[in-house]
Structure formats: structure tokens, C-alpha cells
Amino acid sequence: MTLSVVGVTGDVRHVGLAVPPRAEIFLDSLQSPLTWPPLVLVVRAHGDAASLADTVTAAVRDANPNVPITRVSTMDEIVARSIVEPRVYAFLLGLFATLAAGLYGLVAYTVSQRTHELGIRLALGAARGQITRLVIGQGLGLALIGTGIGVAGAGGSDTDARQPDPLSAAERSGHLWRGRPRAAHDRARRHLPAGAPRVAR
């Protein structure tokens, strides 16, 4: 098949904003032996593009009443839909980072307020490991509540109706949990009295 070049267009991102434009050609639908459903009609508008939706729909139906029109969208709406998922992930990341900082500060403040209590426990014979487990247990309790709320919220924010990946969710929860016992342990070590006996870990 011989093709004649009648014009050159600018780059078009068909896959998404994050994917670089790829080389492609546009063929006349009446002359091309290949067809890819569905058919997409692109209209350039000056001014408010949304106001032309009814006009374009009526023109298509006048040309061929048998052509179904499933969706009419402006380019702004298409771009907005394409970045919903990254925006949700960015929001959740910021939310969890804020909650993690708040949890760290809360546990650190609680341990600092209990320094005298921990010293008395050590003086009465409590082992250092028992004190550490006490502080870690308190931090993990708060982390468990926060993780449960976060996982429930993330499950309800699935915007593209895809089945969530249980393995991926478990891995993300595991990443959140790995640092919490260590952080609580470090805070307990910093706030224990300097002369407290140490046990091997």
C-alpha cells in the first residue's frame, strides 16, 4: 500500500502523561484497511470546550444516527482523570508521613514523661528487657491502630475499580511496621537512666 504524506502533526501522548510520545501515523478511516474500535472524534474549540458538547453530539447524530456516542469529554477532564491515581498516592504518602511523625513524637513524649517510673521499675528489680518490651508494646499498639485505619482507608480509595493486590498491600504494611519496633526500642534506650544495668540483645 502506497501512502502519501499530507501533513505533520505535533507529538501526542496516547498512553499517559508519564510516557514519552511515540512515533505514529494517522490514516484516513475511509482509506485505511485497518480499523481500531472505538472511533474517537477530536474537535478543537476556541473558548469553553464543554459548551460545545451538545453541538458536537447533535452533529454526529445528524451525520449518522446509528453511531453510538458513549462519552463526551474535554481535554482538561481527560488529563484530570489520568492524574487521579498519582494524586491519591501522593496524598496518602503525605498523610502517612505526617501520622508517622506524630506517632514518633507521641511515643517519645510519653517515654520522657515516664523516665522516673522506668527508673523505679529498674530499682525494684525489673530487667532492662522488660522495660524495653513495655515501651515497644505501647508503640506497637498505637501503630496497630494507625495501620488498621490506613489500610481500611486505602482500600476504600480504589479509584479505578481494579482488584487490590493483597500481596502488595501486605508488603506496604510490612514496610510501615519494620521501623516502628526499632524506633520505640531506640527511644527506650535513650530515656533509661544512665546507670541502669544492661542486658545482651
- Give me the pLDDT at residue 155, please: 63
- Angle, CA of 95, 181 and 109, to the nearest 5°: 70
Give yes or no for residue 123 having a pLDDT over 70: yes
Binning pLDDT at 50, 70 and 90, where does residue 32 land? low
Query: pTM score > 0.85 for this model?
Result: no
d(Cα 167, Cα 169) in Å, to the nearest integer? 5
For the chain, how far is it from start to end, CA to CA, in angstroms? Answer: 76
Q: What is the pLDDT of residues 174-199, one digit of tens each?
A: 544 455 555 555 555 554 544 444 43
Binning pLDDT at 50, 70 and 90, where does residue 91 land? very high
Q: What is the pLDDT of residues 141-163, one digit of tens each?
A: 777 777 777 777 666 554 444 44
Helix 128-156 and helix 84-113, axial crossing angle in degrees, nearest 10? 160
Give yes or no for residue 167 having a pLDDT over 50: no
Binning pLDDT at 50, 70 and 90, where does residue 168 land? very low
Determine how many CB atoms are found less than 10 A away from the CB of residue 113: 10
Binning pLDDT at 50, 70 and 90, where does residue 116 land? confident
